[in-house]
Each structure stands twice: as structure tokens, then as C-alpha cells.
A and B are shown apart, each in its own frame.
Chain A
Amino acid sequence: MISRRTISRRTGTAIASATALALTLAACGGSGEGGDADGPMTWMTVIHTPTTPTPDGPIETALEEYTGTEFELQWVPAASTEEKLNAALSSGQLADLVTLGPVESTTVRSALASGMFWDVEDYLGEFPNLAKIDQGTLDSARIDGELYGVPYQKVKARYGVVVRQDWLDNLGLEVPHTIEELTKVAQAFTEDDPDGNGKDDTVGFYDREESFLVGFESLSGYFGAGSGFEVTTDGQVVPAFTTDAFKEAMEWYRGVYENGWVNQEFVTVQKTNQQDGIAQGKGGIVVTGLFEAKNYNALAKSADPETPMEWALINDLTYEDVPRRILSDTNGGMGGWLAIPKEYAPTEDELRKVLGFIDKLLDEEAYGLMTNGIEGEHYETDADGVVTVTDQTEWEQEVQPFSSSRPSEKVVTYESSDPYVNEANELMAENEANVITNPAQSLTSKTYDTRWSVIEQQVNDAYNQYITGAIEMADFEAKIESLRGQGLDQISEEFTAAYAEVNG
């Protein structure tokens, strides 16, 4: 039905000028369509796999049966989410339920705040699973205090440090738990030939291009820096990279770089290069998601089945007297919104129907269907409750596409046959208690929306230049000072005002 409508409109306006075309689209978007109570519920969601599962495939049918709701999926490929969403938003061609993300997208946020979608806050309490959504996740999902969709729940902090256990053993070292110990390990990994091949071909840390945004950011958290932004004692919202803790971490990391304990050309290393380098045993310390140890091992095994690679997973690093903390790498435990357009659900009853559907998806049975598939068809469970996928290809085709649409990633943690997976799951759950989130994430600043990417890139460059010794700390500070006049101060001010309004 929808496709026919799109085609006829397209041919109808093909000859018209673009302005007219856009006007028509915008105008049509405004007219009431959808919300027909009879047809199946439509859900526009994101797909991360190359192929979509067949409509009315086994999982979809099973889910329809379980939830008692007939629904139709409109898959949007992850690579083009933003363009597709832009087009859908501008033409009003949405669905009864819309998966919105990425979390930091200005377009998505302004669309959410535009009033097109229901504020769901008051209704969550009526549903058993939705009522249980973690307060921190809800806070992260708010936009200037309002909740315009049900948040996708994720583990709040998956990061930690993974260290080559076999190298530690070769050198007779203990697993490090402080930055000081970690530094010593990095030195030993670089200088003491941990793989015992007689060549000087290893380093400690193996970092990549996104150091400032990912690896180092997580390390700076141990020194006391915030996640993106932090609130000072007098209520000011300031960028984390302006704080003393962050600069202290930078000074330490520059020392590590100068000594050669981190790969010297990390600013050119892409994520896959990093994975390859680690699998090849070039470096022994990685600041990354704890679940990655399993992937590094798999990669190393595919090249050399006899690889001695073993990993120690560390989630409790601390620095001097700074209490244990970990920065959230998942936007405070949320991966987007399940938003309900008012146009498609004009009444509260229709809204409740959609919310009820989401609530059902959060039940263990539905979660199992979307994670593992159907028992006997896609997976098997042994006596210890270990889940094994029986037909990987079929699972990837029929089940995997649904896994990224699960409204929560932490309903059940299944036992895996891979010990690294179980250990990582445990340590990531432990992280929740010490997690630090970005206080500015749920706030809005006009200047941030227009200027942040340029400011962030300039600070990122200055960071890399400082670490590699191209500039000094004074130059880094001067760079930040110059950025203050280009919007950084204004962003701080706007966030501070928004923070005061929401919190007080």
C-alpha cells in the first residue's frame, strides 16, 4: 500500500521543479495517513546485517504469536539510517513504531523534540517490563527533561582493558590493577620480548586513530575525567577535555608514547588495522570493549590455530586515590528510541497498544526468540544451560537481523561455551555500579548542534599532536582558549542553563 502511494507520487511530480516536489512531499507528510486500526502494526527498524529476513519468516511469525500482535517490519539498513530517516521524517512516511537513532544525531533529536512523537513517560508505569527500565537509562534518553520514546536498553559500560595473559606469564608479571602497574606492564611488553621470539617487535598499548574519542577517553576516566562533559561543583557544564584530570591523563599517555610503549603511528591506524595488529601479536594491551578479547582470539586462531594467545580482562583499574569509575561507552546505557508518531497513534488507546507490544518484546520468551531463535531449529541448550547455535548461516539469515531491534540487550544473559564471553558479561555487569555518564547528553544546545563536530575535531587534532610530541601542553591549552571564542564557551553556557532548568 505504502509503496504504491510512493510510486504514484513520484511519477506525478517528476516533471515539476524540485521546489514544487519538496513542497508536495512536505504537504503530503502533513496530511493524516496511517493509524489505520485494521491493518498490521508497522515497525520501522534498523538492520545491521546485509540481507533482510523473509517477511513472515519463522521469527516474525513466532513473535506475532507470542505478542498477539500482527506486525510488519520496514527494515532500514544501518549504513543509510540517517538519510532514510531524513527522507521518512520529511515526507511523514513513518510507521506505527519507529526506531530512532543514532542517539547523538542532531536531526533525530530535533525531530523527537518537534512534538511529532508521544511523550511516553506517564505511560511506562502501566506495563510491567517498561516500568522496570533503569532510571539512569531513562535519564540518558530524555531530551531536555522529556521522554519522547522508549529507550533501547544497553549495558552501560562495556569498556575495560584487556592484557595478554600469556605474555604476563612469560615475563612473570601479575595482572595490573592500577595505572602505575599497567604502565610497568606496557614497558615490559615493549622492552622485554614478551613473545620470546628474540626480536624487538612488540609494544605495550596498541591504540588506533580514534584514541581521543574511544581508547584514551576511557583511560582518562580512570584519572577522573568525565564522559564528554561534566558538571562542576558550582553547576557549570564543562567539556571533559578542559579539566585537570584529563590533562593529567594526557601527560601520562604522552610519556607512554615517548618511551615507545604504544604503537608510534596510531593516528593512522583504523579499527580493522588495530584488530589485525593485535591478532598478529604486535601489541599486548588494548583499551576496548571487554567482549573484544573473544574476537581477537578468534582472529588470531584463524591465522594460526596454535596461537598461544590468552587474555586477562580487567575492569577495576584505578589511578592513585581516584575512586573506581568507568566511563559509559553506550550513551549511558541507551541505543536509541522506540518512538511512536502521534499521527499514527492518535489516541491514548492506540499508544497503549504499541507500548504493550514493546513490553511483550521485553519478556524472556520474546527476547530468546530475537537473540537465539527457535530451540531445535536455530540453537540447542545443553544440561548446563549453554546455548549453542546449530546452523550459523541460518541463524545469521533469520535471527540475527532481529537481535539489534531488541528493546533491551540485557533481559537474560545466556551462558556461552566461550569462557571469555561469560567473563566479559560478568565484568560488564559489574561496571554498572561505577559508571559515569555524560550529563549533557540529555540537554540541548543550539551552538552544540551547529558547531560541535568542528570543535571536537580540532581538539582531537591537538590531542594527537600533543601525544606524538608535535606540540606542547601550552599549545594544547592555547588551542582550547581559541576555541572558546568559536562556540565552546557558548556551548558550556547553553548546557549550564539547560542543566539548571531540568535539575532545578
Chain B
Amino acid sequence: MKASIPTRKKVKLEWFKSKSKLTIERKIDIQYTSNSVFSNKINQYAIVKYILLKAGEPVEIPPNSPMVLYKNNLPFLFLNISECVGSKIISEDMIDDDILVDDDIVHVKEGDPKISFEDAKSPKEHIEVRTRYDRISRLINIENKLEEPIDIEINFKQTKDITYIKSTPQPTEIEEPTYKFKISIPSESKTKITLELQAKIVKRVTKIKPEYLEKQK
């Protein structure tokens, strides 16, 4: 393309114009630690990204280029491009402020501790390992404040300490260690997921061996 670029000026040039298919991907990634699983309330976020499948020849757009979404000829969202693969233009991940996620604890059932011992550094000491398995029930409330229905994917990722027992509703797909829930939420409505989890709680205390305690007396 031919153009004139004057000194100390910005020049805007038309590059391409084409149709595209638009997909909006929303997800909530949930993962707990043995500490956070007992929190009364956890702030979770819905992550949104826009994927455009451009018709015609692919274009290469550098990452971090700005993108403006228009609806009814009015700009409604300013964001950046995260990557461009062939005809696919993918926006950056953003926290969707119009989807509210409340993650609250409902119930905790403490398990019986099992005690075992491990060697300590000093021969006069040993480590008392108390292991117990607690059952925790958490309720995740998702509210769609948008004026349109949405599809959202909730991904619960289990860890070595926090494992999945059951849930309401059942996961749509299980890809160990991730349990996926694909749900649709109508406009200005709420939906909820109950997760029943098992937490492995391990406490280690270094103690003087009983035989040495007696000798000290």
C-alpha cells in the first residue's frame, strides 16, 4: 500500500474488512488448598474471552493490539488481542464483572485423626503425624447480570490434598484432575453448584520419645 507519512503525525490506514464468527468463552477456575477450602467465603471470578473466526484470508495481528467491540453502533467493550492463530483472533482474558460468583462453605465434617510416627533429626525425638480426612461441602452461586443468556464452564481442579467426592449437578465432563460443569444461565438469573470435597489434613509435631521423657524424670 502507498501512503504519505508526515512528521509528528499519526496516520490511520484501512487494512481489511470481513465477516467473522464470534464465540464468547466464559469460565470459572476453582482450586482449593487445605487452608482455603475451610474459608467461609472465597472470591472467585468469571473469566471471559472473545474468539473471532475471520472469514477469508488470515491476518497476523501483533499481540496486545487494541480491539473495540461495538453493539448497535456503540462501543461497549475495550480490550486487547492476546494472540492471532491463522484466522482465529483471540482476545485477552478478562474478569467478567457482570458475572458474580459467591463461593461459600456450607458444612464441615471432621474425620478421625490417624496417628503415625516418622523419624526426626535427633534420635531422642520423633515426628507425630496426625492425618485426618474432612468432608467439606461448598456452595457456588453464579449470577448473570447481563441482559442476555450466557454459557459458562466451571472447572474444578482437584489436588493431592483436596479431592472430589460428589456434586450437584453432576459434572458434564471429567478430565482428571479436572471436573467440568458446562451450564447455561438465563439473563439476570442465578444458578448454583454444590461441591462435596474431601480434604486431607496433615499435622506434624516433633516430640521427645516417651522412653527419654521417663529418663529425664
Q: Do A and B come from one complex?
A: no
Interfacial residues, chain A to chain B (CB-CB below 8 A): none
Interfacial residues, chain B to chain A (CB-CB below 8 A): none
